Amino acid sequence: MPSENRAVPPVPVEERLFSLVLALLATESGLTKNEILSTVQGYRQRFEVHGDNASLERQFERDKDDIRELGVPLETLEAPGDPGNNQSLRYRIPRAAYELPADISFSPEEITLLNLAAMAWREGSLSRESRRALLKLRSIGADTTEPVLGYAPRIRTRDAAFGPLSDALARGLTATFLYLKPGSAAARLRTVRPLALVQHQGRWHLKAFDQGVGEPRTFLLSRISGAVKLGRQPLELAPGDYAAEALAELDALWEANVAEIEVVPGMDAAVRLSRRRGATLSTDGVISLHFTDAALLADELAGFGPEVLVRSPEHLVEAVKARLRLAVDAHSDGSGGDSDGS
């Protein structure tokens, strides 16, 4: 590094990014990388006319990614007479694709809902995205009437896999992770192309094309173990409403599965289970309950302990009993085994 670079006071990152956006919005025909690095504020201070600008070029590549991530349509144009030559590529931001369409406006009632929608993500993986979306909304000048709602709704994304998977989804990358299917002894490595992330019955699911089996599959995020690794090359994907499909599939599954559970009247299980969507309580204290995933329901029913007696289906009964036995074993002291429950 030439020493004179150190003397230049650093230009703040947002000033460099802001200047880049302004410069690329202002140009019709586009600017070459060399023009950008040598003239745009934040780059020009570090540009070496006859030197090596490799680190500055890498900075420009990162800045392009950062700007695109904000929804700024940064375009690359090949020179007509010189295709394939990186040095003659031109960059620009077409105004029509950058600006919010003029006919989009929001009523105070709509702004209220959007504020609540954004607030719901305040601790989730999409909290930064929601906050940026709100800044853009406020940019239109729409004032909220600040109606009193008294709500603090919150969407949780407690599954560590949510962040990397939503990243893979947005960027069209593959994701590789260890997945433990209920009933299998060990987690297996899966490589998938994410199609949609959906929350159903309070749980996050990933619909993805499983490259190992060559078919789409639905994964429960809480069964992903360890780190999620992302691929490098974006893959093209046939357009489709994968999220709606995934939710419809989960709903169909929910509709088809029914458990019968005897409950003790007035206890926690009776009060809570009978208020679930689609639950019916018969006069003899048996709740019929729809479910999507037997293992998850078994967890929950085992937690209710003696407040419930699962009648059917049989595999659910066995799953609940297995959990209870394991709980007794894991918490009994000594080798004598003072459990007589089973």
Partner 1 sequence: MAADRDRPAKAAAEPLAFAQDRLTFLLALVPYVLDAGRVTVAEAAAHFQVSEKQIRDAVSLIAVSGVPGETTQYQHGDLFDISWDAFDEHDEIVITHRVALDDSPRFSAREAAALIAGLQYLQALPENVDQGVYSSLMDKLARGASESPSQVAIASSDSTGSLAEVRDALARGVRLEFDYLSSRGSAERREVDPLRIDSDDENWYLRAWDHLRQAVRTFRLDRMTGVTVTDRPVDEEHGDLPLGDSLFQAGDDDLVVTVDVDPDAVALLGEFMAGVDTRRLEPVGDRVRARIRVAHLNGLTRLAAARPSAVTVVDPPEARAAVVDWASRALARYDG
Q: Measured at the alpha carbon of residue 161, what is the angle toward residues 156 and 163, in degrees to the nearest 5?
A: 70
* Among 253, 258, 286, 309, contact with partner 1 (rule: CB under 8 A): 309
- Binding flag, residue 26, partner 1 (CB under 8 A): yes
Exactly one of 181, 217, 229, 323 binds partner 1 (CB under 8 A); which one? Answer: 323
CA distance 3 to 173: 40
Note whether 193 and 235 are within 8 A (CB): yes
Member of 45, 176, 201, 257 binding partner 1 (CB under 8 A) = 201
**In whole angstroms, how close is the CB of 156 to partner 1 at the nearest point?**
5
Q: What does the block give as tokens for 29?
A: 């025909």
- Should residue 56 be labelled a site residue for partner 1 when binding is judged by CB under 8 A? no
For residue 160, give the nearest of 142, 139, 181, 177 by alpha carbon: 177
- Helix, coil or strand: residue 227: strand
* Cβ distance to partner 1 smaller for residue 243 or 286: 243
Both structure tokens of 28: 């019709």
State the nearest-atom distance from the C-beta of 325 to partner 1, in Å: 7
Which of 58, 136, 188, 315 binds partner 1 (CB under 8 A)? It is: 136
By CB under 8 A, which span of 53-61, 77-85, 271-279, 283-291 interacts with partner 1? 271-279
**Which DSSP state fits 142?**
P
Using CB under 8 A as the binding criterion, the count of chain residues that bind partner 1 stands at: 130
- The verdict on 300 binding partner 1 (CB under 8 A) reads yes
Q: Which is nearer to partner 1, 3 or 103 (CB)?
A: 103
Q: Does the protein bind partner 1 through residue 173 (CB under 8 A)? A: no
| Least CB distance to partner 1 at residue 174 (A) | 16
Q: How many C-beta atoms lie closer than 10 Å to residue 157's C-beta? A: 20
Q: Is 314 in the site for partner 1 (CB under 8 A)?
A: no
Cα separations in angstroms, 165 against 228, 268, 332: 8, 36, 40
Q: Does 249 bind partner 1 (CB under 8 A)?
A: no
Does 158 interact with partner 1 (rule: CB under 8 A)?
A: yes
Q: Check: CB of residue 124 under 8 Å from CB of residue 156.
A: yes
Of residues 1, 8, 77, 135, which one binds partner 1 by CB under 8 A? 135
**Interface with partner 1 (CB under 8 A), residue from 104, 185, 186, 238:** 104
* Beta bridge mates, 277: none
Q: Is 120 in the site for partner 1 (CB under 8 A)?
A: yes
User: Which residue, 50 or 331, is less far from partner 1 as judged by CB?
Assistant: 331
Euclidean distance between CA atoms 50 and 52, whole angstroms: 7
CA distance 307 to 299: 14
